[in-house]
Amino acid sequence: MDLSLSEEQAAFVTASRRMLDDVCPPDVVADVATPNGPGHSVEVWQALTQAGWLGMPFPAQFGGAEAALFDLGLAYREAGRALVPTTLYSTIAAGLFITNLGTDEQRKRWLSPICRGELVGAVAVSEPHAFENFDLLQTTAMPVAEGWVLNGQKAFVANAEIADVTLVLARIEDGNTDPAFGIFVVPRDMAGVKIDPYLTFGQDAVHEFTLAHCRLPGDALLGDGSGTTHWRDLCEETLFRVRALHCMEMLGGIEAVLDRTVTYVKERHQFGVPIGSFQAVQHHLANIAMPLEAGRIAAFRALWAASDRNWSGHDITVAEIWLCDTYVQATLTAHQLWGGMGYALEGHLYLWSQRAKTLDLLCGRRATRLERLLVGASADSPASL
């Protein structure tokens, strides 16, 4: 596996970093990620649209760029460094589901506005009692003459209150003994939809999404209406890609923590010299840098695995376990080196600490991740959405 970037990819990374340094500095992130913050920056969104990020993985006929998953991963890496507001991730995830599961008409209807930056999307998979297992999902979709009626409750839905549409995973109650599932496109203003924000320590725009006799038209179900043909494979394939992309986001976050900490220990003086000259400080930096290098290999390999049609979740699960642990530990070590400034709001280190722990939780329980390795790395985890 070649970890080097092509000349074009290196130029993309450089241009992306400069753009985000300009439009998404830590002050902007801090304003968005507050209990009363919007969870979304219009200025950052417009910049991402102009840079073509929102259309990167989608077909050209719908306004996309048909970029390789690895190239999108490079964008996620830079987004993780800059802590780009999470509407980017939820919208790309929604678009990937529409691309994999939708008809051409549905793709035209929903992907085209996503590529133009006119639509924010969200994905609602996990439930209060079913965070990591599809088979326990209780949200139902009942077919009726004019379409569908949805009932249920989804948990930890990123950006549901902001999103124009939310993709809801539901069990289809059509009388068949074999369980069938489908993903339904639910506009935010539909009758029967109730959205309640969670108050989280990470200050994310995360919501409880409740459906009570929510009536949807027949074409709200992604696909040709059967809802079952190869559905599980396509859904799991999409989840694999979303999970691999979040590994790249974590990689970028760890790199940012290390870079900012190196800068700090160069500038912070004690006893008349930079504290970075102390051997103990250098050891702490090495304890961030060494697992980071391993994490870079793991994240790139996860992207490679998610890009392969003969995918296996093993590499993605390994990357999740390693990067979740490394990201959290990197922020803890950085706080030790920053001292009191690590907890000062103007230092902004806390923003990466919050994101590290949030991603660690959203990737699911560590025990479940380890169990996946033992049983063949099942993809049945909606947690990364």
Looking at this protein, which amino acid is placed at residue 351? L
- Rounded to whole angstroms, how far apart are CA atoms 237 and 230? 11
Q: What is the pTM of this model?
A: 0.92
Rounded average pLDDT per 10-residue block, the chain, 385 residues? 85 97 95 81 96 96 94 97 95 96 94 96 88 78 92 94 94 74 93 92 88 95 67 78 95 98 95 94 97 96 80 83 96 95 91 94 78 61 45
- Rounded to whole angstroms, how far apart are CA atoms 138 and 155? 12
Chosen CATH of 123-220 out of 1.20.1260.10, 3.40.50.1360, 2.40.110.10, 3.30.230.10: 2.40.110.10
Chosen CATH of 7-119 out of 1.10.8.10, 3.30.460.40, 1.10.540.10, 3.40.50.2300: 1.10.540.10
Domain boundaries, the chain: 7-119, 123-220, 231-375
What's residue 178's pLDDT?
65
3-class DSSP string for the chain: CCCCCCHHHHHHHHHHHHHHHHHCCHHHHHHHCCCCCCCCCHHHHHHHHHCCHHHCCCCHHHCCCCCCHHHHHHHHHHHHHHCCCCHHHHHHHHHHHHHHHCCHHHHHHHHHHHHCCCCCEEEECCECCECCCHHHCCCEEEEECCEEEEEEEEEEEECCCCCCEEEEEEEECCCCCCCEEEEEEEECCCCCEEEEECCCCCCCCEEEEEEEEEEEEHHHECCCCCCCCCHHHHHHHHHHHHHHHHHHHHHHHHHHHHHHHHHHHHHCEECCEEHHHCHHHHHHHHHHHHHHHHHHHHHHHHHHHHHCCCCCCHHHHHHHHHHHHHHHHHHHHHHHHHHHHHHCHHHCHHHHHHHHHHHHHHCCCHHHHHHHHHHCCCCCCCCCC
What's residue 376's pLDDT?
61
Q: So what CATH class is 231-375? A: mainly alpha
Looking at this protein, which amino acid is placed at residue 328? V
What's residue 54's pLDDT?
97
Distances in Å between the Cα of 186 and the Cα atoms of 26, 120, 215, 321, 369 are 33, 12, 9, 33, 30
What's residue 343's pLDDT?
86
- Rounded to whole angstroms, how far apart are CA atoms 225 and 62? 21
Beta bridge partners of 194: 210
Q: What residue has token string 């969104």?
A: 45
- Rounded to whole angstroms, how far apart are CA atoms 184 and 168? 5
Q: Which two tokens stand for residue 100?
A: 């994999």
